[in-house]
Amino acid sequence: DQEAQTVPIRSGKASYGNLGHTSGLVSLARSCLLLDRSLHGPQVHLRQLVDLSGLGAASCREERQRLHFLTEVIEARGYRQLVGVSSFGATGNSCHQLVIGEKPTEQRITRKQRPLTWWPGSKQKE
């Protein structure tokens, strides 16, 4: 599908382990930091969780080939992001927050546009 876009998955538990009651706070702090810098963080251990979930089964092989796990910090597609942060308590209480963030204008990098050419080998149009 040419219209399909990637959707990064973040998992605090995959990065920090099971922190119990404080897991939601750590995930929220990490998400806010990444939003502020317009980044997506690595998910080194998420692959292990997906393997345990059964996504590696033969029936899901096609979907599995489309999964790519971040092993390094990468730039977000845009300066504005929406992140869902969940926290599941030991007593059965759970909380889900939607956090929207935008990189401050003064911290944005202006990128030079690529030159526009109408045919391979043609001169640059001004």
DSSP letter at 110 equals P
Q: Is the whole model's pTM more than 0.85, yes or no? A: no
pLDDT at residue 98, rounded to an integer: 83
Task: Judge whether 7 lies within some domain.
Answer: no
Segment 68-100, tens digit of pLDDT: 666 677 777 777 877 777 776 666 667 778 888
Task: Judge whether 113 lies within some domain.
Answer: no
Name the residue range of residue 92's domain: 12-104
DSSP H or E run through 88: strand 80-88
Q: In angstroms, rounded to a whole number, what is the distance separating the alpha carbons of residues 91 and 105?
A: 42
Task: Judge whether 93 lies within some domain.
Answer: yes
Task: Judge whether 81 lies within some domain.
Answer: yes
SS3 content of the chain, % helix, strand, coil (to 5): 35, 15, 50
Task: Judge whether 112 lies within some domain.
Answer: no
Structure tokens at 70: 């971040």
Q: In angstroms, rounded to a whole number, what is the distance separating the alpha carbons of residues 24 and 29?
A: 9
Task: Judge whether 109 lies within some domain.
Answer: no
Given a cut of 60, is residue 117 above it in pLDDT?
no
- Report the domain count for the chain: 1
Beta bridge partners of 81: 101
Given a cut of 80, is residue 120 above it in pLDDT?
no
Task: Judge whether 4 lies within some domain.
Answer: no
CA quadruple 16, 18, 21, 23: dihedral sign: positive
Segment 28-38, tens digit of pLDDT: 888 888 888 77
pLDDT at residue 35, rounded to an integer: 80
Task: Judge whether 43 lies within some domain.
Answer: yes
pLDDT at residue 93, rounded to an integer: 62
Check if the beta carbon of residue 113 is closer than 8 Å to that of residue 126. Answer: no
